[in-house]
Structure 1
């Protein structure tokens, strides 16, 4: 972890993240930071949250060392807009009590909660963690909010270079640190058995069944490939009916299977049975892959990933898989044939996938990145004061 000797001891940090509503997922990355005597970390999560049609309730901390504040929010049920419209009425009271040196938000700069933080942070250094990677001119008042908040920021944590470009275009001129997602290695892990590959190729997909994910291109590539390629899908979405019709039209009914969402341990077991996971997202004016968490979940199981050139996919995959041009089903078919024929070393890609996760996407590595950014933000703010 980064050296805090030149900072106050302990460095007081309040981190606000709606993704920390449950004990898994966004909350796990804070665990490596809980028992450090020179860091006084407070985590704020919503009491209620709605996401993708699910109602979530803020869960208590599983670790007694976690100083968790589960606070009510306003506008918890505004559909997708709740990501940007919600805020915490009790946050100012908490900030007055804790008097943080750093206030960190895992929220976009045009959100109401980011505006709330910028207006109530007092002397705290403001750090924002951003994912949005498509530059859009926002309707009033959100464009004004974005520019105001970015001027108050001491440090930005960005999920990708495209996300950095968006905040730069919004007027931000300060330091930026890249940060990935973490993966639960207790769940997503190799099974220790390197089963011999049979004839053909078994690939899988986990995620929403929407047109932007490029599954039409994947089906076309499977139909074009000379090798037998089987595709198993976990997920649901509005494009499922058209995908099923395409499977029938291409004569792939015996080689493509669909199943509904499954809990993480079942997804991990599913991934371990694949030769490769595929994420072949298409870029559109409104969609550019921001990260692709399933990439690192598969890689953490020792499964390489076949990805498109869309958005952050090539950078996240690294050496732990293969890339084909998005929307190019003939190129994908050739790649599938090469993998199935043994022209590509699947075991070498599997080893590279595990190394990619170990060096970039563990919760420990994400925690180190958070800590470094908080420290740099504190120093930048204290020097300019």
Structure 2
């Protein structure tokens, strides 16, 4: 008796233009011998002022389809207008059991996939955690997509609440981000590093909402010998540098630009703690904070704010302080700097948090679970 054919999944995912981050989850998913996986991604992607060309194919066990897109970045809707002119032909050829969208439900590409899905189940992976009415026609697109989605993969309880409020009534599977444990891994500190100032750091975009002004104010208030290293770029950098001068922190604060994952890992390994102090606004609520798990994978605990998903992602691997409260942050820095044993224990808990919740295998399992449920919902879990 022949074994059932594998579940054929087509995943449409613009984050997968990068081999180093967006595609690693697919390698783990494709390692399951009862899945036939096809990944669709754009040849060129524009986001946050950067243009990214799709990296050369390095797939193991799955097929990558690099296709041109139309409207990659247009006006105030940024990248949500893009679609694939060649998607109809590809889907007809592949005849998938499930289409998985790593795209938001109001995007044109999500609408395109729904229209072209034929017999396939539809899985949406959602991040948006602020409930707000979208301008026409995007609110109508979102409601339509959510009425026709078979399964949702949700980054946080707040993201689940948003899709529920906009009409989704089906099953939800939680999903985190994964971290490459071969790149982001603990590294022993040299004697010089152990004897230097207590060092906190930040990795990410330099925008006001990330709360780095609070970190600078906390450093100025702190009686402990604490330094701050910042890795990233963004429009708020000039004001941050000016604030460093005003607070006389030039010898304790350093800046450097973006780097590839290996450089980010090396930077994180040099820290005693990472800070992510995002501030909630009408437009911003931290959806996950991927740098949290990258730091924790390096055995570096995280000091996070109460914004959005940060407390849940940090778990036992760090500390949480109120948003916009430099005084509380300063008190915490003073306490941590005087307690090496606490810092070491939190570092071990940070690594354990990642190993338990945020491996790529955990991400692949969540996608697999959702896709099988969606296939069953439309009547063809097995061919």
Q: CA deviation at 1:334?
A: 0.7
State the TM-score, normalized to the length of structure 1: 0.94
Q: CA deviation at 1:371?
A: 0.5
Map Cα deviations across residues 67-98 of structure 1 (whole Å, 9 max, x no partner). Answer: 11111111123267343100111111111111
Tell me how far apart the structure 1 counterparts of residues 182 and 156 of structure 2 sit (CA, whole Å): 26
Instruction: Count the aligned residue pairs.
Output: 378
Tell me how far apart the structure 2 counterparts of residues 170 and 89 of structure 1 sit (CA, whole Å): 28
Any gaps of 5 or more consecutive residues in structure 2? Answer: none
Equivalent of 2:116, from 111, 117, 120? 120
Equivalent of 1:42, from 24, 38, 41? 38
Q: CA deviation at 1:36?
A: 2.9
Tell me how far apart the structure 2 counterparts of residues 249 and 344 of structure 1 sit (CA, whole Å): 34
Match of 1:301 in 2: 298
Tell me how far apart the structure 2 counterparts of residues 91 and 247 of structure 1 sit (CA, whole Å): 50
Q: Is 2:322 the counterpart of 1:325?
A: yes
Match of 2:199 in 1: 202
Match of 2:362 in 1: 365
1:230–1:64: structure 2 CA closer, same or farther, 3 Å change rule? closer
Instruction: After TM superposition, list the pairs within 5 Å mapping 1:95-110 onto structure 2.
Output: 95-110=91-106
Tell me how far apart the structure 1 counterparts of residues 124 and 79 of structure 2 sit (CA, whole Å): 14
Any gaps of 5 or more consecutive residues in structure 1? Answer: 1-6
Contact 1:132 1:290 in 2 (8 A): yes
Contact 1:75 1:82 in 2 (8 A): no
Match of 1:352 in 2: 349
Contact 2:20 2:261 in 1 (8 A): no
Tell me how far apart the structure 1 counterparts of residues 20 and 377 of structure 2 sit (CA, whole Å): 32
Aligned-residue Cα RMSD (Å) equals 1.8
Instruction: After TM superposition, list the pairs within 5 Å mapping 1:366-385 onto structure 2.
Output: 366-382=363-379
Match of 1:189 in 2: 185
State the TM-score, normalized to the length of structure 2: 0.94
Which moves more between the two structures, 275-284 or 375-384? 375-384
Equivalent of 2:255, from 255, 258, 264? 258
1:211–1:24: structure 2 CA closer, same or farther, 3 Å change rule? same
Map Cα deviations across residues 304-363 of structure 1 (whole Å, 9 max, x no partner). Answer: 111000111111111111110111111111111110111870111111111111111111
Q: Look up the SS of the partner of 1:177 in the other structure.
A: strand
Equivalent of 1:54, from 47, 50, 53? 50
Equivalent of 2:87, from 82, 88, 91? 91
Match of 1:3 in 2: none
Q: CA deviation at 1:383?
A: 8.5
Tell me how far apart the structure 1 counterparts of residues 322 and 113 of structure 2 sit (CA, whole Å): 41
Tell me how far apart the structure 1 counterparts of residues 14 and 260 of structure 2 sit (CA, whole Å): 21
Equivalent of 2:313, from 313, 316, 340? 316
Match of 1:4 in 2: none
Q: Look up the SS of the partner of 1:26 in the other structure.
A: coil
